[in-house]
Amino acid sequence: MMKRLQRCLVAPAALCSLSGTASAETVADFQFESAGNTLGWTASNTVDHFAADGGMLVGTAGMPVSAANNDPFLFLPNKAAPFTRAADARWDALTFRVRETDPAGKVIETFNFNGLLVIVNHGLRSATTIDANKAADAPLFTSVASGDGFYTVTVDLEPFNAMKPNGGVNNLRIDPIGSLPGDASPASGSTFEVDFITVTDTAPAPEPGAVSLLSLGALALMKRRCTA
């Protein structure tokens, strides 16, 4: 009777876990945790002091002062093997965590979407630009404050599915902080800190909890066989 009870307790728990909301599968994951290793990312459009430092990809929009100069570009050049999504999944999102600091060292507390854009496969036939300043694209961008002046920015990659349904991510460009005149940013000299960049598809990520419950189920089965 005890063994039957054990099985009854395990089975509903496993079913509950499997029916939970699964998070998307990570296809590309850049955390910048090794000092000096930018993980292949480069910077352009006048960026000084570009480096991986303190777990972040960092740089300062270059001087001389110009409105156009506060628009750093981060670029991951063409990869030999593109990032590919699971065959039955769609491209989900590009997510990054960023903080902007003005030339006086003051953290800019309001996230600024001006000048923010993502280009997937820049310069290639499959290039898709998702631009926060275009009315049609603006709803694809969200930002959530995530401590110490950082914002976690999520860019919905749905347009990339339409442009290149079966393709991969060969390269990426991200303009991570604001640039346009009249916005909340200084004209130039802002420093950016990017904590991580990830790309996800819609395939469900493996759930550690489900694995543990499967192990529990296997143990229960083994015990049942041993005592039968």
Question: What does the binding site for Ca ion look like in residue numbers (CB under 5 A)?
Answer: 31-32, 55, 195-196
In the complex, the smallest distance separating the C-beta of residue 34 from Ca ion, rounded to whole angstroms, is 10
Exposure letters 129-146 (e unless 16+ CB within 10 A, then b): ebbbeeeebeebbebeee
Question: Distance between CA 203 and CA 92 in Å, rounded?
Answer: 9
Residues 61, 50: contact at Cβ < 8 Å? no
Cα-only R_g, the chain:
22
Q: Could you tell me which residues come within 8 angstroms of residue 6 by beta carbon, excluding any fewer than 6 positions away?
A: 220, 223
Smallest distance from the beta carbon of 153 to Ca ion, in angstroms? 15
In the complex, the smallest distance separating the C-beta of residue 192 from Ca ion, rounded to whole angstroms, is 13
Nearer residue to Ca ion within complex by CB, 34 or 110: 34
Cβ nearer to Ca ion, comparing 31 with 126: 31
Is residue 64 reached through a cis peptide bond, with omega within 30 degrees of 0 on the bond before it? Answer: yes
**Shortest distance (Å) from residue 98 CB to Ca ion:** 11
